[in-house]
Copies of this chain bind each other. A is one copy, B any other.
Amino acid sequence: MSNNRAATTQQSFPMKGGDGPHSYVNNSHLQREATDACRTMIEEAIAQKLDVKCFSSNPFRLADLGCSVGPNTFISMQHIVEAVERKYLEQGLKSQIPEFQVFFNDHVANDFNTLFASLPTERRYFACGVPGSFHGRLFPESSIHFMFSSHAIHWLSKVPEELLDKNSPAWNRGRIHYTSAPDEVSHAYAAQFDHDMEIFLSARAKELVVGGIIVLTMAALPNGIPASRIPSGVMFDLLGASLMDMTKAGLINEAQVDSFNLPVYAPSQEQMTDLVKRNGCFTIERMELVYRASKLVAPITGKECGMHLRAGMEGMIAKHFGSGIIDELFDTFSKKSVEFSHQLESSTREGAQLFAALRRK
């Protein structure tokens, strides 16, 4: 399997496992909020674009790529199963409602034990865990009918190599992301994302049945807004600045910061559209930036940011800098996010998420 060979060179950054105060389980409500916003769009994609009549096989197989440890994945899978059942009913196929099998996928290092222990007991599907990177094959050919990936494909398979090369114009000295960086750094990130997406889409094209649908929700750049003005961009800038403060205090050295870069990327709608078209295996059934119906969403607080970042990135940061700096780093980050709270509060959340429903040709 090409996936398995590739896995050894890829980086893996699992969400924090278990159910402690800093765990992903207890700090994934920002993702949850985003999931809720997309629920209607997923239901519409199934109702309008999924032709279950063209599927001959029982069972109906679903996959969540980058599922982490729950509970968001269980909520999403439940909604999708219900929407597919409604579709069978609407198409007059009540007697043919299939059994469902759900494949929960994430990196090998994901805490599958926690995932399995928290599976809903009253679920209407057979559950499997699939360990491995979605930057490669995960399933047999034409074996999945509906795929979903929520807030996962912004993870790159690796940090672009030029960022670590002192002789490259993309050397990312003193920063940890392309936010507020020279264009060469952004271009290196974009090229890595292009490469990863081509591999991702080609693998999914093999795995999906003809007529099968993949729904992607992901961090994205709203039209005309720079990366430094979306919430994640502000957070990454503050995290980078926090690390640089710690170098000044002598707690870590500057070379460590220079060699650390977050392997995450938010594409524009235009870039994502181009990538799907270039791949050629899917029709774009829907692709749009997500705007919430209610404008009464509370602004993100600094504390919330810190908890959110920590749940998602503690493992990666600890691996590079050592676990000894974690508490100090997030203390510094917390103070900094109060100091720069106006930047967070005025950042553009609306449209900083992309919804895509693609149909296998």
Contacts and interface: CB of A to CB of B under 8 A. Distances in A.
A116 interface: yes
Interface in A1-21: 1, 4-5, 7-8
Interface string A112-135: 110011010111111111111000
A164 interface: no
A283 interface: no
A156 B348 CA distance: 58
Interface residues of A, number: 40
A301 interface: no
B131 A116 contact: yes
B129 A137 contact: no
Given A101-B139, A143-B59, A117 B108 contact: yes
A141 interface: yes
Contacts of A58: 140-142
A124 B59 contact: no
Nearest to A117: B108
The residue among A57, A125, A132, A140 with the most chain B CB atoms within 10 A of its own CB is A140
Nearest to A17: B113
B131 A119 contact: yes
A327 interface: no
A101 B128 CA distance: 12
Given A58-B141, A123-B4, A141-B58, A128 B112 contact: no
A138 B101 CA distance: 10
A121 B7 contact: yes
A99 interface: yes
A345 interface: no
The 4 closest A-B pairs by CB, nearest first: A59-B140, A116-B131, A128-B128, A129-B129
16 contacts: A1-B124, A1-B125, A5-B122, A8-B121, A59-B141, A98-B140, A101-B139, A101-B140, A108-B116, A109-B117, A112-B116, A113-B113, A126-B138, A126-B140, A127-B131, A128-B130
